[in-house]
């Protein structure tokens, strides 16, 4: 979901979990999971695309809700509500600001 207030952060240099998501046209895209945060008792994964072309500007963060399927496995679900997306994006920005002020 594209928004005016997309959260961006450089990909950490330590080894992180990499996942592959398939778009509506069947193309695979790799993302690094930079964080999992909890907002209003719900977990959300913050993902950054792995840039296939390092000369391009950094991609926009993707925020997906973490839910469980019928087998109890974690799955990532697109956030449909603009208000929910904004609330999670703001919570992540606040978390980043707190970390920056502690350094």
What are the sequence ranges of the domains in the chain?
A: 18-102
What are the residues facing 74 on neighbouring strands?
A: 68
Helix (H) or strand (E) holding 97, with range, is helix 82-102
The reported pLDDT for the residue numbered 59 is: 64
User: Tell me, what's the pLDDT at 7?
Assistant: 39
Give the whole-number percent of the chain exceeding pLDDT 70.
77
Is the pTM here over 0.75, yes or no?
Answer: no
Q: Across-strand partners of 37? A: 44
d(CA 16, CA 56): 21
Residue whose C-alpha is closest to residue 91's, from 21, 42, 52, 48: 42
Structural contact between residues 60 and 6, judged by C-beta atoms closer than 8 angstroms: yes
The pLDDT-based confidence of 50 (bands split at 50, 70, 90) is confident
Beta bridge partners of 21: 29
């Amino acid at each position: 979901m594209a928004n005016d207030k997309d959260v961006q952060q450089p990909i950490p240099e330590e080894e992180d979990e990499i996942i592959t998501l398939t778009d509506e046209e069947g193309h695979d895209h790799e993302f690094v999971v930079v964080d999992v945060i909890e907002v209003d008792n719900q977990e959300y994964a913050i993902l950054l695309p792995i840039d296939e072309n390092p000369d391009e500007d950094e991609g926009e963060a993707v925020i997906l809700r973490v839910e469980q399927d019928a087998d109890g496995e974690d799955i990532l679900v697109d956030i449909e509500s603009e208000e929910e997306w904004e609330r999670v994006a703001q919570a992540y920005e606040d978390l980043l600001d707190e970390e920056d002020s502690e350094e």
